[in-house]
A and B are shown apart, each in its own frame.
Chain A
């Protein structure tokens, strides 16, 4: 399974739509697309994970990297519409408490 990435850039806000699986094979592609967006001061980067059915720890690593960069460059990273299985990963790892996870779908509260 592959990962599709679509970036929608607005003024002071970039929305990155992801669909597919984020794993050890597709994570480099996500890294390449997501990290540069976090280097713009005062922008909001919103990652829409509605269509991400699976993510492994390599995928989490990319979001951690993005979070570190957003702190350094003073931008804001936000994740929206996480599926239950993907959200659980953020929950177990304690990342949901330090990341801006806005909404989840299928009955899980962010």
Chain B
């Protein structure tokens, strides 16, 4: 397995490609079925955000290791419009009220670590990690 694998998101079917690659990597790292499904759902959400709002971006996967843990790092990066009010999109019930799915709070819940940076007019970068239990 490459230490860094990447999927470009331009059309809807790229979401499926990202899911597939992410699941494969998670499986090889030793994640159980439930966590595989959670990681994949998080990837879907990140990829769909790129597809819907940024038009173009990429998702990449890395295997990470700390002292005792190993895990997967999923990074979503786009050059889209950026997010003006991060607190608002991270608020529970904000994005889901329009029926858009789990939203970013959902991604944060599915993963163990979550970080987001965004600049209006430049783009958004979201870094998430899940550790093998």
State yes or no: do A and B touch (Cβ within 8 Å).
no
Using a CB–CB cutoff of 8 Å, the interface residues on chain B facing chain A are: none
